[in-house]
Every structure is written in C-alpha cells, then in structure tokens.
Chain A
Amino acid sequence: MTVDLDKYVKPGRDYYIALGLEGSANKLGVGIIRQPVGQLSQTNRAEVLSNVRDTYVTPPGEGFLPRDTARHHRNWVVRIIKRALSEAKVTGADLDCICFTQGPGMGAPLQSVVVAARTLAQLWELPLVGVNHCVGHIEMGREITGADNPVVLYVSGGNTQVIAYSKQRYRIFGETLDIAIGNCLDRFARTLKIPNEPAPGYNIEQMAKKGKHLVNLPYTVKGMDLSMSGILAHVDGLAKDMFGKQGKKLVDEETGELITAEDLCFSLQEILYSMLVEITERALAHVNSNQVLIVGGVGSNERLQEMMKLMIQDRKNGQIYATDERFCIDNGIMIAHAGLLSYRTGQTNDLWNTVCTQRFRTDEVFVKWRDD
C-alpha cells in the first residue's frame, strides 16, 4: 500500500505550491516548490520555482553571534521573500501552505524567521507546517539525486549524523558526541583567521588542496559515533604554537620540510573525513545498503565526496549521491519540499504549536509520507 498524498489537493488543481523559510543558522533562505499530484518519482518530479538565500557573514576570526544573526534574518526576510515570490512568479493566493524550520538550530535566528512565517500564514490565511531541518536536507537530497533509500550522511556546521530510514522514521545510526564537523572546521578557520566569505569551510578546502604533509592528529571514532572536540583542540594548539608568539617550527618527519597552514588544513580534513567514511561504511553494512547520500553544508566539500566515492566503489553496485551548494548548504527550498510532503499527509501546525526548538532530533519526526 502506498500513502495517499492527494487528500488535500485544492479543487481544480493537479499540483501544490509551498513556500519554505529557513533560518536555523547564518543562512536565511526562502524557496518556493511545486509538486505535481501523485507519488514523486523520476518521471513525476518536484519543480524548484525559486530558491533565494542570503548569508550573514562575519569578519575573519569571528563566529556568528545569535543576536546579530537574528537581526540579519529579521532585516532581510521581507526582501528575500519578495524576491522569491517574484522569481517564482507566484502570489500568496497560489500557495497551499507556509513551511518553516522548527528546529534544530540557533534559538534567536529560528525565532525571528518563524515570526515571518506566522505573519504570512495569517496574512494569506494559509496553514503552517513546521519542518525538522535535518529531514528537510534528507528529502531534498532524495528528490534532487533520485536516491530512493540511501544511508544519509548529514554533515554541516551544527550537525553530524549517519541516518538510515526504517519504518517511517529516519533513524540515527551514528553521530557526533560533541561538536559538529562544520563547527570543527569553522573554528579552525577562525584560529587561522581565514575569511568567512564565501564560507570558512570552502576556504579551508582550497588551502587543503595545497597541503601535502599529513600531520599526526588524533583519530576518534567511538563505535558508530565520533568525537571531534579533541582533534580541534589538538590542531588549534599546533596552529597557535606555529603562528603565535612562540613561532615554533614544525617539520615533516619524512621529508624534513616545514609544516605550513595548508598542511594543517589538509591533515584536519583527511582525518575528519576518514572518520566519517568509516562510520558510514559500517552503517551501510548494518542496513545492507549500497547507496550513500551526502547532505548538509560540509557535503559540498569535494574532497569528502571523493573519499566517500573511493569507499563506495569497493562495494557491490555502490552508488554515491551528493548535491551542489544550492541544495547542500542550508536553503529554503528543502524546507518547502519536506513541509509540503508533510502537508500532503495532513500534518500541519496550529498557531499555538509553532514554537521553535533548538533541540529537535531527526528521529522524532513521523515520516508519514513514506511507508516502504
């Protein structure tokens, strides 16, 4: 039996349109999606009508503070919504629902975006749909890549999880025990005072391409989980010794050449990504799958994709799926897409039930739109 996704279609229409608002971290995203009636498939696909994003960027060496990030979202949200509507060539009257990120994420930015969502819903008399940010990434990844039932590696600034679907839940097989991988990379970028534009992780990736010496760093896989705070402390310590007052020189043991900042970026990436590959491979073996889907901002890192590909190629019929920065990095369209699926199964949020939450685990969501 398949789930009936068309109980709530507007009379006389054979499609749905939803607007999604994302603002759980430093990206403010507004996306508008159109889904045709019927089950989504490779021949019956969702259509991205618009996907606009604006990122709050801080000076080098600084992270983004909740207060200023929320202010960025508040002050841009109306302009970004207007741009998304005009690009999609739709008006409020064309929409079926307003979707918003309910969590997980930073409290203040989430709060400022949900106010915009509530306002639109009341203005246009539309239902609200609260979306779990991680589920948004997973559903959009599946839609874009066509991966039907992959093991999902969700890697971003705030989250690191290995996820597999089973019985209407996205279940977490492994995750970070402390900080997220993107947080680890971003904070190291701050130590090195690497610019935050376009993204600290992107700049680390570019530097890592020039690195060639692997510096010994801790490797901390704990069963299916990872720990990254110790690695960060270690590499931060090395960087401070090298570029601080001490000006300590580190040399590569084999070649005797000086270790550079590029080498540190290279080593950090190699170690962290090896750990990810290890737990992902183990999850694949557990659930007897051969598909990996990488989502989340760090998923746009080409080195991570390459390493994952090497692992998956060794597996029978192994396939890797990844999306580009439009869908990897936080965006509004994934919220619109996952929210619309939820709406089509009758899951909406009354106004009183639209409070955002910083903690909202992926497996708390009832995936009513799947029953495989």
Chain B
Amino acid sequence: MSLIPTAVYSAADLEQPHEFHPGDGDHTTDGQTTQISEVVIKAGGEDRDKPSEARDTPLGHLRAQLTTLQDQINVFLTERMKSEKSAITGKEEDDIERRILDDGVDEDEED
C-alpha cells in the first residue's frame, strides 16, 4: 500500500485552487523550512532536536513525503503573506495620503 499525501489550498482571490504534490525524488524528514532558528546556532547552540529519520516502511515514506509537502506549503504561504503585507502597506500609505488630503476628516470606509 502506498500512501501519497496531497494538499489543496483555495482562497477567494485565487482563480484556481493551488495543489501540492510531494513528487518524485528524495524525501527526508529533515525539512528545509523546519530547521532550528539561526539565532540559536549563532549563540553557540547545537541542534539536538532533529527529527528521527524516516524508516523504510509505508508510514516512514509518508512521514518523509509529508515533510516535503510541508516545505512546499510553507514556502507558498510565506510568499503569499509577503505579497499580502506589501499590498496592505501600500494601502495604508494611500490612506494617510487620503486623510491628509481630506484635511483630517477620518471616515470609515467599507471595502
């Protein structure tokens, strides 16, 4: 029995749901996005909390593939948050401009 995890992300502003597949290739439980923080290593810490390696069993393979999937999702969501954030900061600047132009009149606007 092979277990292949997948994930689907949908949101109102996405035309199509985003699909994630672990794909072929080497999967490990040591994910790229789930490493220890750099500050800890820089302060002289060592990483004694690495995940155990995946066993050569269906469940072990599932663990490793899930880690790959998690990496993909983390990268995707981080990008999304970044673009959302920059969209919001842009908007706030507009807001300030509007407020100044409106001569201090602060109205609640509904989007």
Contact = CB atoms under 8 A, between A and B. Distances in A.
Interface string B30-70: 00001011011001110001111000000000000000000
Interface residues of B, number: 12
Contact of A75 (B37, B45, B50): B50
A316 interface: no
Contact of B43 (A56, A61, A67, A79): A61
Interface in B1-42: 34, 36-37, 39-40
Nearest to B50: A75
B45 A62 contact: yes
A64 to B, nearest CB: 9
Chain B at the A interface: SS class: loop
Contacts of A78: 52
Given A65-B37, A68-B36, A75 B44 contact: no
Contacts of B49: 56, 68, 71-72, 75-76
A62 B40 contact: yes
Interface string A40-61: 0000000000000000101111
A58 B43 CA distance: 9
A62 B52 contact: no
Interface of B: 34, 36-37, 39-40, 43-45, 49-52
30 contacts: A56-B49, A58-B40, A58-B43, A58-B45, A59-B40, A59-B43, A59-B44, A59-B45, A60-B43, A60-B44, A61-B43, A62-B39, A62-B40, A62-B43, A62-B45, A65-B37, A65-B39, A67-B37, A68-B36, A68-B40, A71-B34, A71-B49, A72-B49, A74-B51, A75-B49, A75-B50, A75-B52, A76-B49, A78-B52, A79-B52
Interface of A: 56, 58-62, 65, 67-68, 71-72, 74-76, 78-79
